[in-house]
Structure 1
Amino acid sequence: MVVLLLIAAGVVGVMAVNDATKDGGPLADATASAPAQSDEPYDEPNQDAEGTPAAEEPTDEPSDASGPEGDVKITQCEVDSLTTWASAEVTITNSTEQTASYVVSVEFVDSSGKRVGDALAATENLAPGQEAEETAQGLDTIKGKIDCKVTEVTRYEQ
């Protein structure tokens, strides 16, 4: 019974808003000034003309060696023969002058460059100059050889 009352109240509220915008009420000005939606298709970044994601060559080199990405290096990349899960061993070195915590996103790609999984590695309260070895453990079943790629590094300075 309570659910029916809540649904009825919602319907009445929607009808009241519609009436207010049609009759030139205070909501009419707010909806009239809303930005118009474009009929132009949205182009996803890093896609080809057909909208298919562009393949990138996997690399363990960070894209920006001066930022937090420069603090992370993949030291091992493998698929466990028993679980068929991928993992990447990463070394994180705090290059700042403050204690920092890190979250590292790793992507697993097959020999054709197709993404077959991903994982995260993290460490907390890493002192300036200190190094930590962490594992980014995937949970996807993967067959065959893979490459590991750091896709994003977030550093939180304390």
Structure 2
Amino acid sequence: MLVLGILIAIGLVVDDGEGGRSKDSGTVAEDPVREQDRYPPTPTRGGAVGDVKITKCAVDPVTEGTAAGLLVTNRSSKTSDYTVDVEFLDRSGKRLGDGIGATRKLAPGQQADVTAQGLVRITEAVTCRVTDVTRYASVT
């Protein structure tokens, strides 16, 4: 029995061919960090899209900058931070640019007017489309 234990122990350490030693790929190294502590949870996306309504979509005639007015309503049960991605499209649906709007510490049921400002100069009429909404529970 002792010989079998020694052979098993020797089998767990193999030569890597370069003079060093490595553990057999079948063994699992102990890691004191739990998986959920290493990677933060994925933010809520799907349900948060319904929290945003476009209220305005325009090109400033002077600066030629695009802006989308957004009404963000926190429908979750926790005070939350929002990031909203918007695309600016021409009449045919071609993407001309994008913008981002954000708000922080929005209480449950509370609303905020947010502007998603575009960075590209555009001289034609645009339509706006929300492409992504990320909602995180606010950190105090």
d(CA) in 2 for partners of 1:26, 1:126: 59
Which one of the candidate residues 107, 131, 134 is aligned to 1:127? 107
Question: Alpha-carbon deviations, 1:65-105, whole Å to 9, x = none?
Answer: x6000000000000000001110000000001110000000
Question: 1:26/1:151 Cα in 2 relative to 1: closer, same or farther (>3 Å)?
Answer: farther
Which one of the candidate residues 18, 21, 29 is aligned to 1:25? 18
Quick one: higher RCO (CA 8 Å, sep 6+), 1 or 2? 2
Where structure 2 has 5 or more consecutive residues not aligned to the other structure, the ranges are 1-16, 21-45
Which one of the candidate residues 66, 75, 89 is aligned to 1:86? 66
Which one of the candidate residues 97, 104, 108 is aligned to 2:77? 97
d(CA) in 2 for partners of 1:148, 1:130: 24
The 3-state SS of whatever aligns with 2:119 is strand
Question: Alpha-carbon deviations, 1:94-143, whole Å to 9, x = none?
Answer: 00111000000000011121111111000000000000001011121112
d(CA) in 1 for partners of 2:57, 2:18: 63
Q: For residue 26 of structure 1, report the CA deviation from its aligned partner.
A: 7.2
The alignment-based identity, stated in percent, is 51
The residue number in structure 1 matching 2:50 is: 70
d(CA) in 2 for partners of 1:145, 1:26: 68
The 3-state SS of whatever aligns with 1:70 is helix
Q: Which has the larger share of helix?
A: 1
Question: 1:25/1:123 Cα in 2 relative to 1: closer, same or farther (>3 Å)?
Answer: same
Which one of the candidate residues 73, 94, 119 is aligned to 1:139? 119
Aligned residues, how many? 99
d(CA) in 1 for partners of 2:127, 2:19: 58
Cα RMSD over matched residues?
2.0
Where structure 1 has 5 or more consecutive residues not aligned to the other structure, the ranges are 1-23, 28-65
User: Considering only CA atoms, is the larger Rg found in Structure 1 or Structure 2?
Assistant: 2
d(CA) in 1 for partners of 2:72, 2:64: 25
| Structure 1 segments (4+ residues) deviating >2 Å | 24-27
What TM-score comes out, normalization by structure 2 length? 0.66
Q: Which has the larger share of strand?
A: 2
Which one of the candidate residues 95, 99, 103 is aligned to 1:115? 95
Question: 1:144/1:25 Cα in 2 relative to 1: closer, same or farther (>3 Å)?
Answer: same
